[in-house]
Amino acid sequence: MAITKVRINRFYQASEIKVGNRISLCKNVSNHISRVLRLKDEQEIELFNGDGFNYCASITISGKTVTASILSQTPAENESPLKIHLGQAISRGERMDFTLQKSVELGVVSITPLITERVQFRYDTKRLQKKLHHWQKIIESACEQSGRALVPTLNSPLSLRCWLESETLPGLVFVPGATSKIADFSCQGAMRLVVGPEGGLSESEVELILNSHPFTATQLGPRILRTETAALTGISILQAQFGDL
């Protein structure tokens, strides 16, 4: 009879973690442990802080405060050999949240929200910082769920042109009616992927991408996909062909 391994509770802790140390967990994590999960003293949890390691720890609960004694350190060893930088045109509401969450689960290493012609983006500095904080929490939670110990980088929103000029990695852009498929693309381990907004990229934007930068236009089959579907379908195919799926 097969023995099912009990899944250990896993939390992101944005601080230095060292074996042998006792650390105080952040307020949100402490509240989740003590009030939501109702864990007990000396139960073991797993912590990570984005350095690529998982840390086994034993907890002590005192009121609203939870401390953790760091018992051991192990490398995560579950990062894909394919390093994808996703340039995702900003979509509305939960669609963007969903895309960020699932793209992290699928292994992207960097995400830049893109401002394109058909994106409605009106944020002052305060609202932008709040939105970035919200997106960052989604990314951290996706790492908790998926077992990743390296937290993908969330960049500040950029215009499409600025993002294209920010680095010289080759990449793909999904264009309905393109003659090439992802299978025709050649990748050397690191790449960019640009996904348009709900209304799609304009002809001038597609021209900008293809004429000025090392990008290849590909299609995702004969049907028009929503922006979040296109991103996740594309990432999945790329991971299957060049990564670890």
Q: pLDDT by residue for the chain (245 residues), tens digit each?
A: 455 556 789 999 999 999 999 999 999 899 989 888 888 999 999 999 999 999 999 999 998 899 999 999 999 999 999 999 999 999 988 999 999 999 999 999 999 999 999 888 777 778 889 999 999 999 999 999 999 999 999 999 999 999 999 988 999 999 988 999 898 888 889 999 999 998 899 999 999 999 877 899 999 988 889 999 999 999 999 999 999 98
* In 41-108, beta strands by DSSP E: 44-48, 53-62, 65-75, 83-89
The CA distance from 186 to 6, in Å, is 40
Q: Where are the alpha helices (DSSP H) in 24-172?
A: 27-31, 94-105, 125-146, 160-165
If we measure between CA atoms, which residue out of 179, 171, 160 comes closest to residue 214?
171
| Polymer length in residues for the chain | 245
Q: Which CATH fold topology does 10-75 show?
A: Ribosomal Protein L25; Chain P (2.40.240)
- Which CATH number, 3.40.50.300, 3.30.1490.20, 3.40.1280.10, 3.40.50.2300, labels domain 83-242? 3.40.1280.10
Instruction: Map out the domains of the chain as residue ranges.
Output: 10-75, 83-242
Phi–psi pair at 71, nearest 5 degrees: -95, -40
pTM as predicted: 0.90
